[in-house]
């Protein structure tokens, strides 16, 4: 109606595969460097922390329970003493923080 047929039809552009795939590759590269790579780094650090856990370390679980490790078991569990005489079996992968023996608790509030 308001647009003539000559303006409505555009010339068929012959974009190459490289021109069409470049934005996808760019987006994947950005996602890799900002999301995937840092997450993999955090996962490796967490696995190293879990592997280095030993008897006497003070730990924090994902549920927020703070206790001292009394025994490291082979099946991926640790025995954590949360109070005098109260021991809890915890899956080692749920540990979120480990403080070595004698390491003081630091406060991040300034």
pLDDT tens profile 44-93? 999 999 999 999 999 999 999 999 999 999 888 999 999 999 999 999 99
With beta carbons less than 8 A apart as the criterion, state whether 63 and 107 touch: no
Q: Would you state the pLDDT for residue 20?
A: 85
Q: Would you state the pLDDT for residue 19?
A: 86
Q: What does each C-alpha distance from 71 to 46, 81, 87 come to in angstroms?
A: 19, 9, 10
- Structure-block tokens of residue 104: 């003081």
Positive or negative: CA dihedral 40, 45, 51, 53? negative
Nearest to 77, CA basis, from 63, 59, 91: 91
Q: Would you state the pLDDT for residue 2?
A: 65
Residue 11 CA, distance from chain mean position? 49
pLDDT tens profile 17-34? 888 889 999 999 999 999
With beta carbons less than 8 A apart as the criterion, state whether 98 and 61 touch: no
- Asked if pLDDT for residue 110 goes beyond 50, the answer is no
Provide DSSP, 24-60: HHHHHHHHIIIIIHHHHHHHHHHHHHHHT--TT-EEE
- Structure-block tokens of residue 93: 């992968």
């Amino acid at each position: 109606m308001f647009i003539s047929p000559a303006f409505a039809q555009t010339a068929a552009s012959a974009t190459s595969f490289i021109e069409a795939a470049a934005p996808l590759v760019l987006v994947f590269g950005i996602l890799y460097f900002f999301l995937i790579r840092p997450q993999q780094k955090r996962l490796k650090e967490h696995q190293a922390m879990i592997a280095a856990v030993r008897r006497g370390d003070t730990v924090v679980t994902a549920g927020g329970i703070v206790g001292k490790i009394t025994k490291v078991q082979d099946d991926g569990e640790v025995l954590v003493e949360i109070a005098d005489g109260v021991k809890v079996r915890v899956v080692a992968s749920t540990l979120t923080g480990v403080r070595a023996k004698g390491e003081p608790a630091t406060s991040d509030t300034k």
